[in-house]
Amino acid sequence: MCNLQDKCVIVTGSSHGIGYSIAKIIAREGAHVAINCRQNVEEAEKVALEIRALGRNSIVVQADVTDLQQVRSMTDTVVNKWGRVDVLVTNVGHAYYHQIDRLNPELWHQSIEENLTSQMYCIQASLPYMIKQGRGRVIAISSISAQRGSPSGDIGYSASKAAIIAMIKTLAQQYASQQITFNAVLPGIIDAGLTNSMPLERRELLIESIPMRRLGKPDEIGEAVAFLASDQASYITGQAIAVNGGLYM
């Protein structure tokens, strides 16, 4: 169990999928959680309601995290409501599955913007508050593709996810003396999103490629994030934590 009692946490992209699991588990450990969504406010409100049922505070902050002004407004809303931001989890990302021979400049920039720039904006907006507080935790969600590349040839996705790790390591060195830690979690193939709609035969082949012979669970990503957000991980910074069932070692 990770003690996050009364910590104030922002989780981007948390109205569904892995982000939802992260928000739910962090709340279970005692945190108050700001749920971020770009469009589906109704879905986000259901997540916030579920968290409130645990006895925690939760608000919905609608923002497109590729827009710096919206990110700043989101962060200010949380601080104005709760007085601080203890933990930031940057979870937004998107894969387009475009190989280099079909990749145009617009798609390349879109991939970098959604997967990398959005995370940088969120960190940039929250960091001044963490510096003022004298502590903070930043956990960025990257991907197994950052380490092994993309089997489908999606260079925009794999390059941007790898850049997240470099960004986290750089910031970890810069702010370690101010008790602000930066780490990344790298999910493998998780039983959520696209894997749910895969044909059974392809899904079985995918499972066979994983040494643990199963897909990861969204909650397993949430547990890793909760640990890194806690005081138990206070001496861990600049690390890329792989949660992939042994698919890449």
2-23 pLDDT, tens digit per residue, is 899 999 999 999 999 999 999 9
- DSSP-derived letter for residue 101 is G
Q: Which residues of 182-218 are buried (b: 16+ CB within 10 A; e: fewer)?
A: bbbbbbbbbebeeeeeeeeeebeeebeebeeeebbeb
In terms of CATH architecture, what is 8-190+218-243? 3-Layer(aba) Sandwich (3.40)
CA distance 81 to 77: 6
Residue 247 has pLDDT above 80, yes or no: yes
Is the predicted pLDDT of residue 195 greater than 80, yes or no?
A: no
Predicted local confidence at residue 107, as pLDDT:
92
Question: Which of 23-27, 78-82, 145-149 has the weakest average pLDDT?
Answer: 145-149
Position 197 scores a pLDDT of: 67
Contacts 24+ apart (CB under 8 A), 158-164: 159/111, 159/112, 160/93, 160/111, 160/112, 160/114, 160/115, 160/116, 161/93, 161/115, 161/116, 161/186, 163/112, 163/116, 164/115, 164/116, 164/119, 164/140
Distance (Å, rounded) from C-alpha 192 to C-alpha 17? Answer: 6
pLDDT at 194: 64
What integer is the mean pLDDT of 208-237?
97
Domain boundaries, the chain: 8-190+218-243
Residues forming the active site: 157
Name the pLDDT band for 237 (thresholds 50, 70, 90): very high
Confidence of residue 163 (pLDDT cuts 50, 70, 90): very high
Mean pLDDT value of segment 117-123:
99
